[in-house]
Amino acid sequence: MSNELKGKKIAILATDGFEQVELTDPKKNLEAAGATVEVLSIKSGEIKGWDVNDWGKKVKVDHLVKDSKPADYDALVLPGGQINPDELRIDKDAVAFVKNFVGTGKIVAAICHAPWTLIEAGVVKGKTMTSWSSIHTDLTNAGAKWVDREVVQDGNLITSRKPDDIPAFSNKIIEVLAKAS
Protein backbone atom coordinates (compact mmCIF):
# COMPACT_ATOMS: atom_id res chain seq x y z
CA MET A 1 0.00 0.00 0.00
CA SER A 2 1.30 3.43 -0.89
CA ASN A 3 0.46 6.61 0.93
CA GLU A 4 0.08 8.96 -2.05
CA LEU A 5 -3.54 9.66 -1.10
CA LYS A 6 -3.26 9.35 2.70
CA GLY A 7 -5.81 11.70 4.25
CA LYS A 8 -7.87 11.95 1.03
CA LYS A 9 -11.55 10.99 1.14
CA ILE A 10 -13.26 9.92 -2.08
CA ALA A 11 -16.94 9.37 -2.80
CA ILE A 12 -18.19 6.83 -5.33
CA LEU A 13 -21.79 7.55 -6.35
CA ALA A 14 -23.70 4.55 -7.68
CA THR A 15 -26.93 2.57 -7.50
CA ASP A 16 -28.15 -0.85 -8.66
CA GLY A 17 -26.80 -1.79 -12.07
CA PHE A 18 -23.34 -0.22 -11.81
CA GLU A 19 -20.77 -2.02 -13.95
CA GLN A 20 -19.12 -4.26 -11.32
CA VAL A 21 -15.45 -3.63 -12.10
CA GLU A 22 -15.99 0.09 -12.71
CA LEU A 23 -16.80 0.49 -9.01
CA THR A 24 -14.76 -2.26 -7.36
CA ASP A 25 -11.46 -1.81 -9.23
CA PRO A 26 -11.12 2.00 -8.87
CA LYS A 27 -12.20 1.64 -5.20
CA LYS A 28 -9.50 -0.98 -4.61
CA ASN A 29 -6.88 1.08 -6.47
CA LEU A 30 -7.70 4.30 -4.59
CA GLU A 31 -7.67 2.51 -1.23
CA ALA A 32 -4.32 0.90 -2.14
CA ALA A 33 -3.00 4.45 -2.70
CA GLY A 34 -4.07 5.34 0.85
CA ALA A 35 -7.44 7.04 0.28
CA THR A 36 -10.60 6.47 2.29
CA VAL A 37 -13.39 5.59 -0.15
CA GLU A 38 -17.11 5.75 0.65
CA VAL A 39 -19.99 4.54 -1.50
CA LEU A 40 -22.91 6.96 -1.78
CA SER A 41 -26.25 5.97 -3.29
CA ILE A 42 -29.87 6.94 -3.73
CA LYS A 43 -30.85 3.92 -1.60
CA SER A 44 -29.51 2.60 1.68
CA GLY A 45 -28.21 -0.86 2.51
CA GLU A 46 -26.57 -2.50 -0.48
CA ILE A 47 -26.50 -1.95 -4.22
CA LYS A 48 -26.13 -4.70 -6.78
CA GLY A 49 -23.55 -4.62 -9.56
CA TRP A 50 -23.89 -5.73 -13.16
CA ASP A 51 -21.11 -8.11 -14.17
CA VAL A 52 -20.78 -8.11 -17.97
CA ASN A 53 -24.10 -9.78 -18.82
CA ASP A 54 -25.75 -10.69 -15.52
CA TRP A 55 -26.22 -9.38 -12.00
CA GLY A 56 -23.02 -9.29 -9.99
CA LYS A 57 -22.04 -8.79 -6.37
CA LYS A 58 -23.56 -6.45 -3.83
CA VAL A 59 -21.67 -3.49 -2.39
CA LYS A 60 -22.40 -1.84 0.96
CA VAL A 61 -23.69 1.73 0.81
CA ASP A 62 -21.98 4.03 3.32
CA HIS A 63 -24.26 7.07 2.99
CA LEU A 64 -27.30 8.31 1.11
CA VAL A 65 -26.37 10.97 -1.42
CA LYS A 66 -29.18 13.23 -0.12
CA ASP A 67 -27.41 13.30 3.28
CA SER A 68 -23.93 13.90 1.82
CA LYS A 69 -22.01 17.10 1.09
CA PRO A 70 -19.33 17.68 -1.58
CA ALA A 71 -17.30 19.54 1.10
CA ASP A 72 -16.73 16.19 2.85
CA TYR A 73 -14.81 14.68 -0.09
CA ASP A 74 -11.68 15.37 -2.14
CA ALA A 75 -12.97 13.65 -5.30
CA LEU A 76 -16.04 11.98 -6.79
CA VAL A 77 -15.99 8.81 -8.91
CA LEU A 78 -18.95 7.85 -11.12
CA PRO A 79 -18.93 4.24 -12.35
CA GLY A 80 -20.85 3.36 -15.48
CA GLY A 81 -22.89 0.48 -16.72
CA GLN A 82 -26.13 1.31 -18.52
CA ILE A 83 -28.61 0.94 -15.66
CA ASN A 84 -26.74 2.84 -12.93
CA PRO A 85 -26.21 6.25 -14.62
CA ASP A 86 -29.68 6.10 -16.16
CA GLU A 87 -31.16 5.74 -12.66
CA LEU A 88 -28.89 8.43 -11.18
CA ARG A 89 -29.68 11.01 -13.85
CA ILE A 90 -33.39 10.95 -12.95
CA ASP A 91 -32.74 11.33 -9.22
CA LYS A 92 -32.81 15.01 -8.20
CA ASP A 93 -30.55 14.47 -5.17
CA ALA A 94 -27.90 12.63 -7.21
CA VAL A 95 -27.94 15.24 -9.99
CA ALA A 96 -27.73 18.12 -7.49
CA PHE A 97 -24.82 16.45 -5.67
CA VAL A 98 -22.91 15.94 -8.94
CA LYS A 99 -23.60 19.51 -10.12
CA ASN A 100 -22.49 20.94 -6.77
CA PHE A 101 -19.42 18.70 -6.69
CA VAL A 102 -18.29 19.82 -10.14
CA GLY A 103 -18.84 23.41 -9.00
CA THR A 104 -16.32 22.96 -6.16
CA GLY A 105 -13.53 22.51 -8.70
CA LYS A 106 -12.55 19.17 -7.13
CA ILE A 107 -11.92 16.10 -9.28
CA VAL A 108 -14.93 14.30 -10.73
CA ALA A 109 -14.06 11.08 -12.60
CA ALA A 110 -16.62 9.30 -14.79
CA ILE A 111 -16.26 6.10 -16.82
CA CYS A 112 -18.33 4.37 -19.50
CA HIS A 113 -21.99 5.57 -19.43
CA ALA A 114 -21.47 7.69 -16.27
CA PRO A 115 -21.19 10.96 -18.25
CA TRP A 116 -24.99 10.72 -18.66
CA THR A 117 -25.20 11.99 -15.08
CA LEU A 118 -22.76 14.82 -15.90
CA ILE A 119 -24.92 15.75 -18.91
CA GLU A 120 -28.02 15.86 -16.72
CA ALA A 121 -26.15 18.06 -14.23
CA GLY A 122 -25.39 20.50 -17.07
CA VAL A 123 -21.61 20.48 -16.57
CA VAL A 124 -20.13 19.15 -19.84
CA LYS A 125 -20.46 22.13 -22.20
CA GLY A 126 -17.07 23.13 -23.58
CA LYS A 127 -15.27 20.14 -22.03
CA THR A 128 -13.19 17.55 -23.91
CA MET A 129 -14.34 14.13 -22.74
CA THR A 130 -14.53 10.46 -23.58
CA SER A 131 -17.07 7.75 -22.74
CA TRP A 132 -18.52 4.48 -23.94
CA SER A 133 -18.79 5.07 -27.68
CA SER A 134 -22.60 4.78 -27.82
CA ILE A 135 -23.08 7.97 -25.79
CA HIS A 136 -20.67 10.17 -27.76
CA THR A 137 -23.63 11.83 -29.53
CA ASP A 138 -25.24 12.61 -26.16
CA LEU A 139 -22.04 14.32 -25.01
CA THR A 140 -21.64 16.18 -28.30
CA ASN A 141 -25.26 17.36 -28.22
CA ALA A 142 -24.69 18.61 -24.65
CA GLY A 143 -21.78 20.74 -25.87
CA ALA A 144 -18.77 18.54 -25.06
CA LYS A 145 -15.99 17.66 -27.50
CA TRP A 146 -15.86 13.84 -27.59
CA VAL A 147 -12.57 12.02 -28.22
CA ASP A 148 -11.75 8.29 -28.33
CA ARG A 149 -8.95 7.93 -25.75
CA GLU A 150 -8.53 5.69 -22.68
CA VAL A 151 -8.42 8.63 -20.29
CA VAL A 152 -9.08 12.34 -20.77
CA GLN A 153 -8.64 15.15 -18.27
CA ASP A 154 -10.20 18.55 -18.90
CA GLY A 155 -9.97 20.76 -15.85
CA ASN A 156 -11.50 18.91 -12.91
CA LEU A 157 -13.23 16.27 -15.09
CA ILE A 158 -11.54 12.92 -15.78
CA THR A 159 -13.29 10.50 -18.14
CA SER A 160 -12.60 7.02 -19.53
CA ARG A 161 -14.37 4.74 -21.99
CA LYS A 162 -14.67 1.19 -20.61
CA PRO A 163 -13.43 -1.45 -18.15
CA ASP A 164 -10.19 -1.95 -20.13
CA ASP A 165 -9.34 1.68 -19.32
CA ILE A 166 -9.63 1.26 -15.51
CA PRO A 167 -5.86 1.13 -14.87
CA ALA A 168 -5.31 4.43 -16.73
CA PHE A 169 -8.49 5.89 -15.16
CA SER A 170 -7.40 4.99 -11.61
CA ASN A 171 -3.82 6.15 -12.21
CA LYS A 172 -4.99 9.53 -13.50
CA ILE A 173 -7.23 10.07 -10.45
CA ILE A 174 -4.35 9.14 -8.12
CA GLU A 175 -1.87 11.33 -10.03
CA VAL A 176 -4.12 14.40 -9.95
CA LEU A 177 -5.14 13.97 -6.30
CA ALA A 178 -1.53 13.37 -5.21
CA LYS A 179 -0.49 16.66 -6.89
CA ALA A 180 -3.34 18.47 -5.10
CA SER A 181 -1.85 17.58 -1.69
Question: 56-102: per-residue pLDDT in tens?
Answer: 999 999 999 999 999 999 999 999 999 999 999 999 999 999 999 99
Rounded to whole angstroms, the Cα distance separating 88 from 75 reads 18
Residue-wise pLDDT for 93-105, tens only, equals: 999 999 999 999 9
**Residue 136 is a catalytic residue:** no
**Residue 112 is a catalytic residue:** yes
Please tell me whether the overall predicted TM-score, pTM, comes out greater than 0.95 for this model. Answer: yes
Which residue in 8, 113, 127, 162 is the catalytic one? 113
For the chain, list the domains and their CATH numbers.
9-111+166-179 (3.40.50.880)
Rounded to whole angstroms, the Cα distance separating 74 from 135 reads 27
Dihedral sign for Cα 139, 157, 30, 95, please: negative
Q: Is residue 1 predicted with pLDDT exceeding 70?
A: no
Measured between alpha carbons, how far apart are the two ends of the chain, in Å? 18
Q: Is residue 122 predicted with pLDDT exceeding 70?
A: yes
CB atoms within 10 A of CB 77: 27
Which residue in 88, 94, 98, 112 is the catalytic one? 112
CA neighbor of 162 nearest in space, from 143, 148, 144: 148
